[in-house]
């Protein structure tokens, strides 16, 4: 893949992952366990949505460099089918109960923060700039979700069981976050992207520490699902997109 | 039987260097989460750079019945205000 | 408004002669625009009426998150999605501020929520109507928030300090809500024929329910006089409704939409719009629980609350463990 094509693909991975998770958090609006938490969780969703928009904006510019014209954020978000989405499988998993939602957030946030901090030093100034801004938001998310995992893990018997179940169930979607870049990846070589494999050790350390404090067992690294980065998703993404994209699909000529 | 999260009072210091000011209340299970919730509830529009929280139950307030005894005596001490001392127009910077 | 038909528990308004010395002093302070604060003496009816009014208002904000939440996942652009999420989040905040104001009167939020779930306390009739299309999100911002603001602005001067302060914060945050709704309507009204139809349809369905938000006509409004004497209601239902119509009709004209009222016309003599009768039977029915969404709204709230119970309990259990460890 030529460098700009790789970069476009990479930016869509970042953008799609943020958007799909923001969409999931949007499903909770008005239905959280307590109104304070509703407001807090929506803040996370809004941060991620904002980050997605920044990544899509840059992706459109990169696409224009390749093809002469680039799509805008809404064309990326609302006019691509599931197989064109590059998000992690983890974030498209359904909300489930609040433990599932928070466990998903926790596993993602710890990775996301490491990734964004590393990308803040990207050789691509635009990537570095967006990552630096997003990293501040992600730091708060990472602390918040870790704290919730500890509270629910070390809360009541019920919450402990639910949180353990959530972590266990989602664990097989975490491997994809660390899939090594293919040999000769021009982005890694140019110092634009981060080799995800390098994030594994610090993520492990952080996640293990939080799980220990939460009195939760860290699942063994068994079989890991993958495919999101290549556009091969779980069944959940198709439905998520069908709902999200409805208006743009039903009224293709309309401006909103 | 569920226990209600205790109530906290939130005080926010704005960017302009003024003292912390009462912003409102919220519920949280402990101080750490009260701070976080206060951030999400009361500073979504750049309202603050610092947050204090205190359990509502720990606030000690003066009693309305003591209002006269507490506050009226100050009304007769007008000499505490600069306007009590008229200055001639010719005198500047005072 | 968000608090419609608040029962004051009194049959007639007392004049000064019939008041106890305490009540006289209390009324004198209200007449002098001195705020009543939580620890001040207040008539029991005043306290109970306020609790009822503030909690109706709070519940309306919380239930009001649902009809709009219905479109968060289907918002047509990323920008609209972000705005809508932020707006609904504000409504959660407003509910929270108002619950807090009610709590200063010696009730707990859990009790208030239990009242809502058991149907002992109402919320605004408006939130029992469905959001069927994206245009309804525009119409809610434009009409429903517009109607709400009419009532909330004067409530910033209400006699009870914590309530007034909550309203100040709410009005400040609320100011973008109506504009974003109108902006949605502008895009639709200037859009494709299908979008324009969507906008007109939304106005057709939301117009009457919006007028009902101000509550029954003054002549049928038994509790208004007492509430006005206590300054927990500052303008009459009909006064507010007229203001709303006068302000909104030109806005509809600008959009090129037709207000669904054949009797609507400018009355130069009065300096106001005349408008047709409102179907008050529908209003009372919706309040009674027979609106299109009453059952869904309450079920959704109850489910959210019950599903969240183990989360809230765990948070308390953990906080207790932390505190015990710190003490040890």
Look at B40 and A34 and tell me if their CB atoms are within 8 Å.
no
Within 110-149 of A, beta carbons closer than 8 Å to C belong to: none
**Which residues of chain B lie closer than 8 angstroms to A151, CB-CB?**
29, 33
> Structural domain tally of chain A?
1
Q: Which of A43, A147, A151 lies at the smallest CB-CB distance from B40?
A: A43
Residues of C with Cβ-Cβ distance to A29 under 8 angstroms: 65, 69, 72, 85, 88-89
Q: Is residue A140 part of a domain?
A: yes
Q: What local confidence, expressed as pLDDT, does residue A189 receive?
A: 86
Query: For A151, which of C74, C305, C315 is closest by C-beta distance?
Result: C315
Cβ separation of B37 and A43 shorter than 8 Å? Answer: no
Contact A36 B27 (CB under 8 A): yes
pLDDT greater than 80 at residue A181: no
Contacts 24+ apart (CB under 8 A), C8-13: C8/C45, C8/C49, C8/C223, C8/C226, C8/C227, C9/C45, C9/C48, C9/C49, C10/C45, C10/C223, C10/C226, C13/C225, C13/C226, C13/C229
CATH number assigned to the domain covering B1-60: 3.10.20.520
Q: List the single residue in B7, B24, B61 with the smallest CB-CB distance to C39.
A: B61
Domain that holds residue A48: 3-250
Predicted TM-score of the model (pTM): 0.95
In a domain, residue A240? The reply is yes
pLDDT at A1: 67
CB contact at 8 A, A79 and A60: no
Q: Is residue A232 part of a domain?
A: yes
In this complex, is the C-beta atom of B32 within 8 Å of any C-beta atom belonging to chain A?
yes
Predicted confidence at residue B2, as pLDDT, reads 59
Tell which B residues from 7 to 66 touch C, by Cβ distance under 8 Å. 7, 24-27, 29-30, 33, 41, 44-45, 61, 63-64
With a cut of 70, say whether residue A39 has pLDDT above it: yes
Residue tagged 């709410």 (tokens):
C170
What per-residue confidence (pLDDT) applies to B1? Answer: 46
Of B26, B32, B44, the CB nearest to A36: B26
Q: pLDDT exceeding 90 applies to what percent of chain B?
A: 57
Contact B4 C309 (CB under 8 A): no
Question: Which of A38, A43, A144, A240 has the most C C-beta neighbours within 10 Å, making it the best mutation to test the interface with C?
Answer: A38
A75 contact C CB<8A = no
Residue A48 lies in a domain: yes
Tell me: pLDDT of C91 over 50. Answer: yes
Q: Does A147 touch chain B (CB under 8 A)?
A: yes
* pLDDT at res. A136: 97
* Closest residue in B to C321 (Cα–Cα): B30
The mean per-residue pLDDT over the stretch A77-104 comes to 98
CB contacts, 8 Å: B41 with chain A = 36, 39-40
Please tell me whether residue B55 adopts helix, strand or coil conformation.
strand
Give the nearest partner residue to A42 out of C74, C89, C191, using CB atoms.
Answer: C89
ipTM greater than cut 0.95: yes
Q: Where are the alpha helices (DSSP H) in A154-189?
A: 157-170, 186-189
In-domain check, residue A256 = no
- Minimal Cα distance from C167: which residue of B? B24
Average pLDDT, stretch C196-217? 97
Which of C169-173, C224-228, C247-251 is predicted least confidently? C224-228
Q: List all residues 6 or more positions away from A150 whose beta carbon is below 8 Å from its beta carbon.
A: A210, A213, A214, C318
B/C interface, count of CB pairs below 8 Å = 49
In a domain, A214, yes or no: yes
Mutate to test the interface with B, among A32, A34, A47, A146 (most CBs of B within 10 A): A34
Question: Residue A148's closest chain B neighbor by CA?
Answer: B33
Q: Residue A17's domain is classified under what CATH number?
A: 1.20.1260.10
d(CA A10, CA A87): 10
Q: How confident is the model at residue A111 (pLDDT cuts 50, 70, 90)?
A: very high
The alpha-carbon gap from C106 to the nearest alpha carbon of chain A, in Å, equals 20
Q: Per mean pLDDT, which range of A82-86, A182-186, C300-304 is the poorest?
A: A182-186
Please check the confidence at residue C48 and state whether its pLDDT lies above 90.
Answer: yes
CA–CA separation, C21 vs A220, rounded Å?
Answer: 75
| Interface probe, candidates B8, B14, B24, chain C, greatest C C-beta count within 10 A | B24
Does the distance separating the beta carbons of C109 and B4 come in below 8 Å? yes
* C-alpha distances in Å from residue A44, one per residue of A100, A210, C279: 16, 20, 43
- For B15-37, what is each residue's pLDDT tens digit? 887 899 999 999 999 999 999 99
Alpha carbons C228 and C226: distance in angstroms, whole number: 5
Range of weakest confidence among A59-63, A193-197, C8-12: C8-12
């Amino acid at each position: 893949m030529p460098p700009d094509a790789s970069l476009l693909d990479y930016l869509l991975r970042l953008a799609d992952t943020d958007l799909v998770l923001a969409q999931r958090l949007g499903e909770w609006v008005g239905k959280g366990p307590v109104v304070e938490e509703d407001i807090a969780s929506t803040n996370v969703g809004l941060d991620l949505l904002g980050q997605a928009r920044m990544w899509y904006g840059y992706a459109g510019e990169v696409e224009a460099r390749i093809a002469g014209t680039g799509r805008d954020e809404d064309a990326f978000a609302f006019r691509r089918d599931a197989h064109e989405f590059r998000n992690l499988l983890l974030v498209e998993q359904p909300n489930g109960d609040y433990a599932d939602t928070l466990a998903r957030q926790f596993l993602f946030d710890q990775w996301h923060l490491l990734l964004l901090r590393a990308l803040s030093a990207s050789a691509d100034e635009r990537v570095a700039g967006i990552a630096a801004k997003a990293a501040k938001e992600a730091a708060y998310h990472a602390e918040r979700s870790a704290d919730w995992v500890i509270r629910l893990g070390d809360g009541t018997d019920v919450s402990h069981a639910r949180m353990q179940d959530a972590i266990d169930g989602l664990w097989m979607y975490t491997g994809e976050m660390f899939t090594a870049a293919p040999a000769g990846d021009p982005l890694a070589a140019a110092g634009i992207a981060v080799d995800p494999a390098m994030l594994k050790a610090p993520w492990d350390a952080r996640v293990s520490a939080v799980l220990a404090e939460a009195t939760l067992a860290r699942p063994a690294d068994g079989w890991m699902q993958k495919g999101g980065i290549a556009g091969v998703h779980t069944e959940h993404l198709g439905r998520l997109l069908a709902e999200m994209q409805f208006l743009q699909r039903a009224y293709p000529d309309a401006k909103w | 039987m569920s226990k209600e999260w205790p109530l906290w009072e939130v005080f926010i210091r704005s960017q302009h260097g003024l003292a912390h000011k009462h912003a409102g209340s919220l519920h949280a299970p402990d101080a750490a989460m009260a701070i976080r919730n206060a951030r999400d509830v009361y500073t979504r529009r750049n309202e603050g750079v610092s947050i204090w929280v205190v359990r509502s139950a720990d606030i000690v307030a003066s009693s309305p019945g003591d209002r006269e005894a507490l506050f009226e005596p100050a009304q007769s001490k007008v000499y505490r205000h600069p306007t009590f001392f008229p200055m001639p127009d010719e005198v500047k910077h005072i | 408004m968000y608090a419609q038909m608040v029962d004051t528990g009194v049959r007639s308004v007392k004049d000064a002669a019939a008041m106890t010395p305490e009540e006289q002093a209390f009324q004198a302070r209200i007449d002098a625009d001195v705020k009543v604060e939580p620890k001040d003496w207040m008539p029991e009816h005043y306290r109970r009426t306020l609790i009822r009014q503030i909690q109706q208002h709070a519940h309306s904000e919380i239930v009001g998150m649902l009809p709009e939440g219905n479109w968060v996942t289907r918002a047509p652009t990323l920008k609209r999605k972000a705005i809508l999420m932020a707006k609904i989040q504000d409504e959660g905040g407003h509910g929270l501020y108002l619950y807090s104001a009610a709590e200063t009167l010696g009730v707990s939020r859990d009790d208030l929520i239990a009242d809502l779930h058991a149907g002992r306390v109402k919320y605004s009739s408006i939130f029992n109507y469905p959001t069927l299309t994206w245009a309804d999100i525009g119409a809610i911002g434009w009409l429903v928030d517009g109607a709400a603001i009419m009532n909330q602005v004067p409530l910033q001067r209400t006699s009870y300090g914590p309530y007034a302060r909550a309203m100040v914060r709410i009005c400040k945050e609320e100011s973008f809500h109506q504009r974003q709704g109108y902006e949605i309507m502008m895009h639709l009204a200037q859009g494709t024929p299908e979008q324009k139809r969507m906008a007109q349809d939304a106005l057709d369905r939301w117009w009457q329910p919006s007028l009902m938000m101000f509550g029954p006509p003054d002549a049928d409004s038994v509790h208004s006089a007492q509430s006005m004497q206590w300054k927990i209601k500052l303008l009459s239902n009909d006064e507010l409704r007229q203001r709303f119509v006068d302000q909104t009709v030109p806005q509809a004209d600008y959009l090129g939409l037709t207000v669904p009222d054949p009797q609507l016309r400018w009355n130069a003599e009065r300096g106001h719009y005349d408008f047709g009768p409102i179907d008050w039977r529908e209003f009372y029915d919706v309040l009674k629980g027979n609106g299109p969404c009453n059952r869904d709204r309450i079920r959704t709230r109850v489910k959210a609350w019950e599903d969240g119970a183990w989360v809230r309990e765990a948070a308390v259990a953990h906080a207790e463990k932390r505190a015990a460890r710190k003490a040890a």
